[in-house]
Amino acid sequence: MKKARLATATVLTAVLTGGVIADAGAAPTSLMEGVYTAEQAETGRELFEANCTTCHNADYYKTVLQTWRGQPLMYLFEQVMSAMPADKPGALMDSEYEDVFAYVLKLVGFPEGETRLQYAGGAMADIAIQPAP
């Protein structure tokens, strides 16, 4: 009987510990948790200056984030991919749009992190848009 309880306790400890370890590496779900890398934002700055600055500035994006508040970041990302740049919608690769988004998030004041912002895999679906800090 004691062996059965010990085995059960050991299994429960392993399961609970595994959950904590898995959660420690979980992707960010808030823009304030750092959803892009500094390198990604720097690459995005160059793309932003080449494709976006003629129409958009930081104030524009602050308004956009307020408008899309509470929605998954993926929704806004997909909208931008299909409509921007205005003179050539969809002209950038997904990774380039990701980099531009990273720069925009930096531009409006969200912190950088250790995780690259990525569309593939659906991580953006778990990140809720919030107003710029």
User: pLDDT value at position 54?
Assistant: 86
Q: For the full predicted model, state whether its pTM sits above 0.75.
A: yes
User: pLDDT value at position 58?
Assistant: 82
Bigger pLDDT: 28 or 56?
A: 56
Per-residue CA distances from 90 to 16, 38, 49, 95 (Å): 45, 24, 17, 12
Q: If we measure between CA atoms, which residue out of 55, 53, 95, 97 comes closest to residue 79?
A: 97
**Contact assessment for residue 121 and residue 59, using Cβ atoms and an 8 Å cutoff:** no
User: pLDDT value at position 36?
Assistant: 96
